[in-house]
Amino acid sequence: VGAVRLVESVSSASLFLWDSGALPWEADSQSLFDSFNMAGRRGDKPLMTVIDSAEVLQAAIDGSDETLVVLDLFKGWTGYCSVMEPTYSRLAKLEIDDFESRVKLLAMDKELLSDSQREMFPVNDGCKPSFVVFKHKVVIGKVQGANGPEVATLISENVFPFKAKDD
| Pairwise CA distance, residues 138 & 42, whole Å | 35
Q: Which residue has the higher pLDDT, 153 or 44?
A: 153
The lowest-confidence range among 27-31, 41-45, 79-83, 131-135 is: 27-31
Comparing C-alpha atoms, which of 16, 53, 51 is closest to residue 36? 16
pTM: 0.72
The pLDDT value recorded for residue 60 is: 96
Is the pLDDT confidence value at 140 over 70?
yes
List of residues 6+ apart from 50 with CB closer than 8 A: 80, 106, 107, 108
The pLDDT value recorded for residue 44 is: 63
Q: Which residue has the higher pLDDT, 48 or 16?
A: 48
User: Which residues share a beta bridge with 141?
Assistant: 133
Q: Tell me the pLDDT tens digit for each residue of 81-130.
A: 889 999 999 999 989 999 999 999 999 999 999 998 888 877 777 888 99
The pLDDT value recorded for residue 120 is: 81
User: CB count, 10 Å around CB of 33?
Assistant: 19
Q: Tell me the pLDDT tens digit for each residue of 5-40.
A: 333 344 445 455 545 555 444 444 444 444 444 444
